[in-house]
Structure 1
Amino acid sequence: MPILREESFNWYLFLQGNVYKQITGYVALFFVVLEMVLTLRKRGRGWKIKIVLPGSMQFWRVLHIFMGVALVAVTAVHTVGVRGLNFNAAFLWVFFGVSLSALVGVVAETGVVESSKRYFKLLPFIGGQGVQKGALIRNLRAVWLSTHIFLVSAFIVMLGFHIFLAYYYQ
């Protein structure tokens, strides 16, 4: 039993150590940079980045989603499930907001696009034909995408501050 306690304590110290945090932090930063490149690829209509990174919009969108899921996993590994205190707690909540807004966007758009319906009623008990599929997608995108972009912007600023604090207090 003492050997198990000692080994688990050593493992705990490793998870709380600087080397572990740096490795997982750099992996998370790598995923963030890849996400930003994918976003540039998606949004940059006439940029030369499309020549360097060919592919369809659907491919880049799916890759962006999977990289985001991988970033959530790496963040969970980096934080070891701990919320943190003060700034780190707020930073983690903003990251969860980014993830939630992305999830809402993916579910909403996929549900509407892949549906066989042409019209959607916003409130089922009100009569009428409803909203066309294209108009509904535009309206959904106006809400969730602006929220997602705002939260990502806040996340990027907080990420820079987090990196500064991590090295300042090291």
Structure 2
Amino acid sequence: MVAAILTPFALSGVYIPLLRDRNFNALIVLQTDLYKLITGFVVLALVFFELALALRKRGRRWKIAVPGSILLWRSLHIFVGVALVATVLLHTGGAVGDNFNALFLWVFFGVALSALMGVVAETGILESSQKYFGLVPQSWQGLAKRFPKVSKGPLIRKLRAIWLSTHIILVSMFSVMLGFHIFVAFYFQ
């Protein structure tokens, strides 16, 4: 679903000139200040909601009782993240932009893709019927015996160390850039 939502960004060089030539009024609506303001505030609300979801993870340490299971909160985080990607598409009209906005959007893509990597890796491992995973497929029996195998728990922890730290760094960069984007958007109006 996220890949489908991100597709217009890859094709913006094709469809924006067509939209400009064939339906200029639609392009004007996508670029009005009111449209950008409304979609921007929806994006900001979703970002704050995503950050509030971190309370579930930190709740025990801070002695805050937060209802619901970790699975519920993780699912909510994923669904709100997908909604955030879709709302960013609406906010930008699928255009990558120039200068700071382009860099800002690419950092956001990094956040989305690192999250996607984590979801796919963890779901694929947890739902697999395999108990052990190796570097070489099981079908290559002669070679597979020579390489060590890892069970699900340690494999997920090792993968999480890579994708989660990348995700947190990118989210931190995105948060700083979001503050700057908001400042610039209101300062130059």
After TM superposition, the score normalised by the length of structure 1 is: 0.89
The corresponding residue for 2:161 is: 142
In structure 2, stretches of 5+ residues that fail to align are 1-19, 138-142
Query: Counterparts in 2 of 1:4-153, with a 5 A limit?
Result: 8-49=23-64, 51=65, 53-124=66-137, 125-127=143-145, 128=147, 130-153=149-172
In structure 2, distance between residues paired with 1:117 and 1:129: 15
Matched residue, 1:165: 184
Question: How far off its partner does 1:48 sit?
Answer: 5.0
Give the aligned length: 163
Per-residue deviation, 1:42: 2.4
Q: Which consecutive unaligned segments of at least 5 residues does structure 1 have?
A: none
**Contact between 1:42 and 1:61, CA under 8 Å: does it hold in 2?**
no
Are 1:122 and 1:131, in contact at CA under 8 Å, matched by a contact in 2? no
Q: Percent identity?
A: 63
Separation in structure 2 between the aligned mates of residue 92 and residue 121 of structure 1, nearest angstrom:
36
1:11 deviates by 3.1
Computed over aligned residues only, the root mean square deviation of the Cα atoms, in angstroms, reads 1.8
Q: Which secondary structure does the structure 2 equivalent of 1:54 belong to?
A: coil
Matched to 2:116, the amino acid is L
Deviation (angstroms), 1:10? 3.2
Secondary structure at the counterpart of residue 47 of structure 1:
coil
TM-score (norm 2): 0.81
